Amino acid sequence: MPRPRTAIGVWQRRLSLALLIALIVPIVASSSAIAQDGTGGVAVSDGFYNPPACSRAGENGLVVYQSLNSERTTPNRALIVANQSGERQRVINLDGVPVRTIPTNYPGRVIVLTSNSEGTVNRIEVVDARRGFRYPLDIPRAQIGALNFPTPATEASAGRRYLVLSDVPQRTAWLVDLSDGVATDLLAIAREREDDDTVSLVSAAVSPDDRNVLLVTDRSVLIIPTDRPAGDRLIGDPAVLSGFHFLADEGSPLVYLQPLENGNTGIVLYDTARYRPRQVAEVENLISATPLPNGDALILATPGSLDLLELRYLARSHIAQVEGDPGTVLMAPGGTRLAYEVRTPEGSEWRYVNLRTGSTSELPDLIGLRPITPVDGLRWLVFGVTAVVAQSQGGLTYYSLDLERGVTTPLLTTIDGINYLPPVVKPGEGRFALIPSIIGTRQNYEAVDNRTGRAFRLLDSRAVSATLSPDGCWAAVARVMGPRSERNFRIYLVPLDGSGEPIQGDFGIAPVWLNG
């Protein structure tokens, strides 16, 4: 199998295993996982552990929610901000009825879409919940209504200061500066470059350092500086390039794959400071390249093998033999464990690899299942047959996978007559997940502890809307009070580890929990 093109001396090849160890030890040493349960450290057990209790609610940031008018029919033209005790801290008056609130990674900031008296969504703004300031976004009214629905492109795009708002048909893409409240039309930049108004969005991602946004359209791949969007740079053709990842390394470099004339695949490292590409490896029959959490190396999947490519010295190390062709590769946050998919004629199977020892084990509980929660950066993942379960699909079991220990745990089994929607998780460990369920017209939430397998109904099956705190340890819940027909809802803050009683808040609906 070809080595990287850059020359590697004999001494580097001999030290490849040492480089692998040097790469993964700093990740583990600095991770919270090893501080809590020692996932694989010397003389520390891989066994079950008892993590600390959830942090106080107020350490997660503010909770923002809506209240209903006196007729209990529509929300008031305001947002309510609650403090760590669940008490109303301030009311932020709006110019319309809120129809959607979008939490962001920027501390205390939320994006709000409002409608006029005729029910038309006609205004969008960034709201500073800490100080009560509002920043209207200069987006044409004809496009605002289309932003009222969640899209994968928006969810995958977020940096800390910036995110990209897009619509379901992928005809709109706006870069939003959450600090200054400024919106930039990204597709206008791409369309001007192509001189074609039919250019549509494929994906967008903001770099970890917030300096650049990667814009992939059906015509081009662009890197756009967030502080000067007019300075866009062309990377290449989206029909040719693939596998884009910003690395969590100094300067947030971009890595991607490109086919070579000899049939092999080139791995390209793009310097986002100097806007220069550099091919760092050539691989035969490459299936995927997955970055390590610290961005210093890639896991290369090829038929029959998993290898590690270190990006500083370009040393390549063999990790494990693979049965068949590996599919999806899931990296543990600590960087010392991974799980990979094996595609067979009967369906998907999963294997678990300890990178320290090189040992591989099977995960028989996950045969035929796939991750149904986001996979980047989480320790615990929820697996299922499908993310949406119809009421006729009773008897399906959700499983969790602990990527740091290779342990699978059954969570809950679906019941006939109940629809189940995709689980709600937060970036971080992913210990807790909320699984919305619908019986007729009634929505409830199942909370699951991926560590223990415990599943329970939120607030006695009377939760009508819920969201997780930024650390994923609490839920902000709108609970129905009295008969559902009377539409009386109260906000509760619930510690999901059972370490305390739920905190009762004010009357309201549709809570979102902001970063602190």
* Per-residue pLDDT at 441: 78
How sure is the predictor about 50, in pLDDT bands with cuts at 50, 70 and 90? low
How sure is the predictor about 460, in pLDDT bands with cuts at 50, 70 and 90? confident
Nearest to 366 by CA among 410, 333, 324, 325: 410
Task: Report yes or no: 151 and 199 within 8 Å, Cβ to Cβ.
Answer: no
Highest mean pLDDT among 266-270, 459-463, 486-490: 266-270
Mean pLDDT on 312-330: 87
Task: Report yes or no: 496 and 432 within 8 Å, Cβ to Cβ.
Answer: yes
Higher per-residue pLDDT: 290 or 68 = 290
* Per-residue pLDDT at 57: 65
Q: Tell me how far apart the alpha carbons of residues 492 and 471 are, in angstroms, rounded to a whole number.
A: 17
Nearest to 292 by CA among 500, 516, 27, 9: 27
Higher per-residue pLDDT: 417 or 20 = 417
89-98, 298-307, 315-324, range with the lowest pLDDT = 315-324
Task: Report yes or no: 198 and 158 within 8 Å, Cβ to Cβ.
Answer: no
| Phi and psi at residue 272, to the nearest 5° | -80, -5
* Per-residue pLDDT at 499: 82
pLDDT > 80? residue 4: no
Q: Tell me how far apart the alpha carbons of residues 326 and 344 are, in angstroms, rounded to a whole number.
A: 10
The mean of the pLDDT values for the chain is: 85
| 3 state SS for 419-460 | EECCCECCCCCCCEEEEEEEECCEEEEEEEECCCCCEEEHHH
* Per-residue pLDDT at 244: 95
Higher per-residue pLDDT: 144 or 375 = 144
Neighbours of 239 (CB within 10 A): 9
Length of the chain in terms of residues written: 516
pTM reported for the whole predicted model: 0.85
* Per-residue pLDDT at 52: 63
Helix, strand and coil in the chain, % to nearest 5: 15, 45, 45
| Phi and psi at residue 491, to the nearest 5° | -85, 135
Q: Tell me how far apart the alpha carbons of residues 437 and 461 are, in angstroms, rounded to a whole number.
A: 10
* Per-residue pLDDT at 42: 29
Task: Report yes or no: 56 and 474 within 8 Å, Cβ to Cβ.
Answer: no
Q: Tell me how far apart the alpha carbons of residues 480 and 424 are, in angstroms, rounded to a whole number.
A: 20
pLDDT > 70? residue 469: yes
Nearest to 115 by CA among 97, 135, 93, 138: 97
Q: pLDDT tens digits, residue range 87-123?
A: 888 999 999 999 999 999 999 999 999 999 898 999 9
H or E segment and range at residue 350 = strand 347-354
* Per-residue pLDDT at 7: 41
Which token pair is 296? Answer: 């210093």
Mean pLDDT on 185-212: 94
Mean pLDDT on 423-429: 82
Edge-to-edge, what's the strand order for the sheet holding 254-259?
A: 242-246, 254-259, 265-271, 276-283
- 142, exposed or middle or buried, with CB in 10 Å at 0-12, 13-18, 19+? exposed
Nearest to 232 by CA among 215, 248, 208: 215
As a whole-number percent, the residues of the chain with pLDDT over 70 amount to: 88
| Amino acid (1-letter code) at residue 310 | E
Q: pLDDT tens digits, residue range 159-198?
A: 889 999 999 888 999 999 999 999 999 999 999 999 999 9
pLDDT > 50? residue 455: yes
* Per-residue pLDDT at 480: 87
pLDDT > 50? residue 37: no
Nearest to 74 by CA among 110, 119, 123: 119
Q: pLDDT tens digits, residue range 392-407?
A: 999 999 999 999 999 9
* Per-residue pLDDT at 88: 85
Task: Report yes or no: 459 and 447 within 8 Å, Cβ to Cβ.
Answer: no
| Amino acid (1-letter code) at residue 116 | N
Q: Tell me how far apart the alpha carbons of residues 458 and 434 are, in angstroms, rounded to a whole number.
A: 9
Q: Tell me how far apart the alpha carbons of residues 231 and 227 are, in angstroms, rounded to a whole number.
A: 9
Which stretches of 219-259 are DSSP H helices? none
Q: Tell me how far apart the alpha carbons of residues 33 and 430 are, in angstroms, rounded to a whole number.
A: 12
Q: Tell me how far apart the alpha carbons of residues 235 and 353 are, in angstroms, rounded to a whole number.
A: 34
Task: Report yes or no: 206 and 245 within 8 Å, Cβ to Cβ.
Answer: no
* Per-residue pLDDT at 89: 87
Q: Tell me how far apart the alpha carbons of residues 193 and 224 are, in angstroms, rounded to a whole number.
A: 12
Higher per-residue pLDDT: 153 or 170 = 170
